[in-house]
Structure 1
Amino acid sequence: MKKIMRKTDCKITSLLFYKKIISPAAITGIAIIFLCGQSVWGQSTDSTINVNAVSSVTFFKHFEMGYAPRSFDIRKDLSKFSFSKGPLNNGNVEPGNISKKILLRFRVCNNSDTLSAHYFFPGFYFNDVRLYEIKNDAVYPLPSIPPDVTDSVSFRLIRVSPKDTITLLAEIFQVKTYNNKFAPRLVHPLYVEAHISSLHNSNKTEVLVTYIFCGLLIMMTLFSLASFFQGGNREFLYYAGFALFIGFMLFTKPYYLLRSNYLNFFYESYLDFILQCIGICFYMAFMIGFLVTRKNYPFLHKLYTYGIIGLVVAMSVYTGLHYGTEGFFWENAVENYITKVALLLMIVVFLVYAAKRWDDRLLRYLFWGNFLYLLFSLMSLVLILMPGLRRELPGLFKSALTFYELGLFLELSFFLMGLTYKNRRQIIEQTKERERLRTENERKEMEKQMAVM
């Protein structure tokens, strides 16, 4: 009995020891973990970015993000907002979310004994970035400090005190374009200019090809203007306008490639579509004058006249939607669906019309130009919709822009050949007419002399 009592007393003593020592420690530890978890809004330490490890550029791998209406007040309603683990859709912003702002939540820490400063950059195309620090379920705005370099509109400075960990919230406003790419990163201050330069020069081969193509367009434009001022037809002027505006649109693409500045935002979100529409208006005016559609082809005259009116209406509606509304759905529909589908149908209608009149040599020039432009444009579209095909193509042909530019160049080449042919034919006809008139005058003069004799 004494042994049993001793064993029982030992067990009771052990239980009392665990209750007095182990249990409070465990409860305290659990409480600390719980409170810490609450203070960082439920994020794990795996998502914390150590700024000391950022020597050049570090892309975010673990973060929380979401889309909110532009009117969403983060100071009042952030606790009700539901974040998702990013990145969403591989960083590509869907057109339905373009009109919204992006909310990004992440943590950074500084393990060193000195103040750390790095720049936050969300990607392209974002025209305003506001940073906040989250403390005790409240947000406190941080100063918006971009680096003192060009093309740095979307960069914002982040400072972290020594031995400190902070939770940050980024409020990111998007440019109204379908090319937005969300890829948040931290950039070391000494590497900002190098990072901007590497982004801009990321595809030198494609840029070089585009510049060469733009140079060819300039040569075509100068040739057309010279022919016009030397007494050529008005079609040369319309052709020059078409080549000039389309060439300028293509030139600005590589020139402003991946630049974070307001001029690029204006071009990417609005001006490129306007330049394209103006260029196509010149193209339709060229077709009307080149074929003398009012006299020779009444159906084509109506087709291109209504096409010019439709493009003017499309540009007006697009401008009103871009500057008068915050939404992006209808603006995107006008630019990428309604207008482009209508232009595609016009090309198909012309090809069918020209094929039925194959004996007309002028129509044949225009047929081949439009056909090759349509063919290479569709090939460009296939590469955009099926990026996996690019790996199987060599060199320059991996780029969708290369196919589009090649089709456009062939179209303009056939148009220029048609212009030259028509101009040469008119010169021959005018020469024959002058010879006929001269012969007629000589004959009349001879008859007068014979009458006098």
Structure 2
Amino acid sequence: MKTFFFTVWLICSAILARAQYATGDPPIVSNNKQLVFDLEPDTGLYIDSMGRVSKPEDILSQDFVPMASVPFRKKIPRRLSEVSFYYRFRIQNPDTGMARLYLYPGMYHSDMDLFYLNDTGLVREKDLKPREGFVSLQIPSGMNREYVLCLTLTRSDNNTLSARLIRPSYLDDYVRQLTTYAYNRKVVGFVTCGVLIMMLAFCILNYVSSRKPEYFYNALFSIFMFMIIFAYAQYYNKPGRTFGEFFGYWWLILLHIGYMCYIQFSRKFLDTTNKDKTIDRLFRFEIAALLVLMLAYSFVHFFTKEVKWDYYLETIMKITVVGISIIYVIMGLKNKDRLMNYLAIGSAFNVAFAFIALWLQTQSTSSTRVLGSSIFYFELGIIFSQFFFLLGLTYKNRVALIDEIKYKEALRLNQEKAAYEQQLAIYKAQQSERNRISADMHDDLGAGMTTIRLYSELAKKKIGDQPIPEIEKISNAANELLVKMNGIIWSMTDSNDSLDNAIAYIRSYALEYLEHAGIRCFVQIPDRLPRFVLNGELRRNIFLVVKEALNNIVKHSGATEVHISLNKEPLGLSLTIQDNGKGFDGQNIRRFGNGLQNMKKRMEEFGGEFSISNQNGTLIRLYKQTRDQSFL
């Protein structure tokens, strides 16, 4: 039906405009400063939609209409892609020299043949200096020549009709003018290309360092999108069959290959093979569907003349790409996976901009404004999808980093636990050996020393009033050795490894020792003691320091009272020993200097502090910082 109305329109236009075309004066081409000659007002156009022209001579009998009267010449419908178009125009060269010019017939034509009319009929013009997208012609001096141009269009939605003559010296500038007519659109395109190059470099570097396949597929997606956008920014509106084929066929193929890479990237990025088999099967089906459509479209495009099927398949392919993005959005809304949400948001923007781009492509005229360009919204969709990919990647890397830290922390804790258990086993083995040794000392050595002491006391009683000094020394030595051995046994027994046990032992020893020396002893202990575990070495060091301090008091202080206090400190505990003797003589330290040094050294071995001062006698302070503050 559309073809019928189109044919009726051509017939009516030919009847109304034939006289106007026939009486027009031919354009005059002379060696003046004019570089471009507009032939459209003086060019007749015939569209052979019915296939009436079988040979070039048949065109002379057809009815031409003025090209300027054709409303769709700036955007030729796709259904006319396989139809032959004929231009008919005259050119006059009044100069004495040969006029060499290039004819620009419009955008994206696949075949062009130029003829001129002489007395014998139509003669093919030789294209002496071919230039893609243009036809060269030569007009002899003083000649008024009529030309006929036969051309066919590429299968593209961007074909146009035009008729301009350009001087060879200005041809490059004219091509540059055609490709830069929408400068703002080109700038946006190159900016988008820059973004894609950065994404490409980012993905390649990450793929090289991590060998993760999602970076590889996203890099491929960036490459194909870059090729499309760069071609539109650099070569859009550039005449020639090559560019017509690209914007009519290859850009769609690159788009589909890019989206297949994007789907494959999504599979790897979301790890659907292991996490969601249903979504993974859906992704693989989408890749297969795009591949089948791409092969079918290629077959129809290259091996058939069915333009309508070419158009239908192209439309289906575009809708399929948009549909895939819609599927992403739906899955993202249903799925609670945050990675999927990021891809869904990017796809939502892609869908919105894709609908705008498709709507703009259906318009009969194209705009040079950025906001009126369909490729601009395509670029926005790509940028937003990559932006949300980066957000998703940041989230994924953060989660991976947290998981790695948790794994390392768990591994460290397990190693520390194993080391602690090993140390605990060693400690238990050592403690068991200590307990055995202390038991043996108590049972064997203790019994032996007690026997020696008992026999020495019996010997002293038998000799009566004539004591033997050696027997007295044996008795005293046995007694002292028994006390020391009891202290060693106490320090080696693990059942005594607590603060309250250590304080009780020190209290008992101090009271008994000072009582024998005739010195009153007062011991002050807090009501609630912390549950500290004090190993045998630590308990023994503290006891020996206290023992040395009490020994010095008995020997040198002349005191009658001693106060022993366990005090709570802001960060630990202190044990003070205060006597009411004559005090500490700093000038006469040599008498017990080694003892003080040993006391200080013993405290420093386990991180404690030792101090001695004069304060109404002698004050000795032992301090140990502790982590447990619950009793303070």
TM tier, shorter chain?
0.7 to 0.9
Partner of residue 372 from structure 1, selected from 334, 346, 349: 349
Conserved? CA contact 2:81–2:152, under 8 Å: no
User: Which of 383, 386, 393 in structure 2 is aligned with 1:412?
Assistant: 386
User: What is the Cα deviation at residue 263 of structure 1?
Assistant: 4.3
Number of equivalenced pairs:
405
Aligned to 2:333: 355
**Larger Rg over CA atoms:** 2
Structure 1 residue corresponding to 2:45, chosen from 38, 50, 65: 65
Residues 103-162 of structure 1, C-alpha deviations (whole Å, 9 max, x = no match): 111222234454433221101112432111234683221212336xxxx21322333334
CA distance in 2, matches of 1:239, 1:193: 38
Residue 91 (structure 2) aligns with: 108
1:310 aligns with 2:293: no
Once residues 406 and 267 of structure 2 are traced to their aligned partners in structure 1, the CA distance between those partners, rounded to angstroms, is: 26
CA apart distance, 1:280: 0.5
Kindly indicate whether the alpha-carbon contact (under 8 Å) linking 2:126 and 2:137 is maintained by their aligned counterparts in 1.
no
> What does 1:25-44 align with in structure 2 at a 5 Å threshold?
43-44=21-22
Q: How many Å separate the matches in 1 of 2:293 and 2:302? A: 14
Which residue is 2:248 aligned to? 269
Distance in 2 separating the partners of 1:403 and 1:268: 17
Task: Summarize the alignment of residues 213-232 of structure 1 with structure 2, pairs less than 5 Å apart.
Answer: 213-231=192-210
**How big is the shift at 1:251?**
0.9
Counterpart pick for 2:56 among 67, 75, 88: 75
Give yes or no for the alignment of 1:85 onto 2:59: no
> Conserved in 2, the CA contact under 8 Å of 1:146 and 1:155?
no
Q: Is the 8 A contact 1:242 1:279 kept in 2?
A: yes
Q: 1:271 to 1:220 in 2, by over 3 A?
A: same
Separation in 2, partners of 1:71, 1:344: 41
Shift of 1:232: 6.0
Q: Tell me what 1:250 maps to.
A: 229
Distance, in Å, in 2 between the alignment partners of 1:439 and 1:146 is: 81
Shift of 1:375: 1.7
| Conserved 8 A contact 2:35-2:167 | yes
2:56 partner amino acid: R
1:185-224 alignment to 2 at 5 Å? 185-224=164-203
- Does the alignment pair 1:446 with 2:420? yes
Q: Pick closer, same or farther for the CA change 1:292–1:445 going to 2, 3 Å.
A: same
Q: Please show how residues 157-176 of structure 1 align to structure 2 within 5 Å.
A: 157-176=136-155
What is the one-letter code of the residue matched to 1:380? Answer: A
Which residue, out of 122, 142, 146, partners 2:105? 122
Name the stretch that deviates more: 155-164 or 368-377: 155-164
Contact 2:218 2:261 (C-alpha < 8 Å) held by counterparts: yes
Conserved? CA contact 1:383–1:390, under 8 Å:
no
Quote the Cα distance in structure 1 between the aligned partners of 2:145 and 2:316. 48
Quote the Cα distance in structure 1 between the aligned partners of 2:275 and 2:338: 14
TM-score when normalising by structure 1: 0.80
1:339 and 2:317 matched: yes
Matches within 5 A, 1:423-442: 423-442=397-416
Provide the residue aligned with 2:485 in structure 1. Answer: none
Displacement after TM superposition at 1:282 (Å): 1.0
| Structure 1 stretches lacking a partner, 5+ long | 1-39
Q: Find the counterpart in structure 2 of residue 131 from structure 1.
A: 114
Measured in 2, the distance between the counterparts of 1:80 and 1:326 equals: 27
Alignment partner of 1:173: what SS?
strand
Q: Distance in 2 between matches of 1:444 and 1:71?
A: 95
- 8 A Cα contact 2:328 2:343, kept in partner: no
**Residues 79 and 195 (structure 1 numbering): CA distance in 2 closer, same or farther, change over 3 Å?**
closer
Instruction: Say if 1:318 and 1:54 are closer, same or farther in 2 by CA, change over 3 A.
Output: farther
Judge which range, 108-117 or 430-439, deviates more.
108-117
Q: Distance in 2 between matches of 1:91 and 1:216?
A: 33
**Range with bigger deviation, 245-254 or 136-145:** 136-145
1:279 corresponds to: 258
Give the TM-score of the pair, scaled to structure 2.
0.59
CA distance in 2, matches of 1:125, 1:446: 80
Shift in alpha-carbon separation, 1:154–1:400, aligned structure 2, 3 A = closer
Structure 1 pair 134–42 and aligned structure 2 pair: CA distance change class (3 A): farther
CA spacing shift, 1:388–1:331, aligned 2, 3 Å = closer
Partner SS, residue 301 of structure 1: helix
- Measure the CA separation in 1 of the matches of 2:366 and 2:305: 36
Identity among equivalent pairs (%): 23
Please give the root-mean-square deviation of Cα atoms over the aligned residues, in Å.
2.9
The aligned amino acid for 1:235 is E
Cα gap change, 1:275 to 1:329, in 2 (>3 Å): same
Q: What one-letter code is carried by the residue in structure 2 that aligns with 1:408?
A: I
Map of 2:478 onto structure 1: none
1:320 aligns with 2:303: no
